[in-house]
Amino acid sequence: MKALACELPADTGLPLAKWSCPDLAAEATRRGIVASVSASTVRRWLAADAIKPWQHRSWIFPRDPDFAVKAGRVLDLYARFFDGDPVGPDEYVLSADEKPGVQARQRIHSSRPARPGRGPLLIESEYRRRGTLAYLAAYDVHRAQVIGHCAPTTGIEPFTALVTKVMTREPYASARRVFWIVDNGSSHRGWTAAARLADAFPNAVMIHTPVHASWLNQIEIYFSVVQRKLLTPDNVASLEQLAEQITAFEARYNHAAQPFDWRFNRDDLDRLIDRIAA
């Protein structure tokens, strides 16, 4: 039964994307593995080995030929090293990206706070769409400070505006070097984006994560905090109100933030690559 559960249903000729316990029980009976078995018994057998074929998880196979080199460079910067040399006190590491398509949704009825005897916060499921905006931000990895702004959409121009906003203020304006860790989004992809950054600000260095490795970019952790603590659930009357809330959250976050407890290092990267290769 466990071996059957570890087969893909499509490989057995069944028109199923994944197994359920009733499907497994029926297929086992059809094959003569058992004379008869219940779905609950199948679930109990599979639970012994934590096999849950009715669940699935998506993943992307790394296809960047320089995955290890690019990822290692990012991890070194988190550990305050670059090209084998320590990152100095007058050098800074920024993690930057965009959060596109942030919706302004106004609930049809007002939300109700949690009350004794009534249960949790109540949020109306119906809403009116008030448009979308993009939130662009740069996170100082070692100082735990965020500098961001909202724009109608993503693109080279909004990202350039973010870079200018950051690089024209201290301590970045007079820093020896400012490393910008970015993914491969169209706003900052490839050597042309790196050259554009260096031309505008000679002390800025763009570092790209490998393709399909945004999880290496710490700004994504901050965006998850924004999503969890501000945008879920949401209830705003306009794009202007949404932008004001995002800006206010950023200021609140900066007031008490501590650097993320990042523990993934080069040794972990080597083990990951070995596991993928196997």
- We report the CATH number of the domain holding residue 135 as 3.30.420.10
Q: What is the mean pLDDT of residues 249-254?
A: 98
178 with 243, same domain? yes
Sheet holding 204-208, edge to edge: 145-151, 127-140, 91-107, 177-182, 204-208
Please determine, for residue 117, whether its predicted confidence score (pLDDT) is greater than 90. Answer: no
Burial of 208 (0-12, 13-18, 19+ CB in 10 A): buried
Domain count across the chain:
2
pLDDT in tens, 164-205: 999 999 999 999 999 999 999 999 999 999 999 999 999 999
**Structural domain contains residue 201:** yes
Whether the pLDDT of residue 277 is over 90: the answer is no
Same domain, 20 and 72: no
pTM of the model: 0.86
Q: 108 and 211 share a domain? A: yes
| Together in a domain, 124 and 240 | yes
Structural domain harbouring 139 = 67-272
Question: Would you list the DSSP string of 77-128?
Answer: HHTTEETTEEPPTTEEEEEEEEEEEEEEEEESS--B--BTTTBS-B--S-EE
What pLDDT score does 247 carry?
A: 97
Structural domain includes residue 213: yes
Q: What would the pLDDT profile of 151-163 be if each residue is shown by its tens digit?
A: 999 999 999 999 9
Shared domain check, 104 and 7: no
On whether both 24 and 122 belong to a single domain, the answer is no
User: Looking at the domain assignment, is residue 27 inside a domain?
Assistant: yes
Whether residue 38 sits in one domain with residue 87: no
Q: What is the pLDDT of residues 21-77, one digit of tens each?
A: 999 999 999 999 999 999 999 999 999 999 999 999 988 777 888 999 999 999 999
Upstream peptide bond of 89 is cis (omega within 30 degrees of 0): no
Q: Specify whether 111 is located in the same domain as 150.
A: yes
Do 22 and 95 share a structural domain? no
What CA–CA distance (Å, rounded) separates 91 from 83?
14
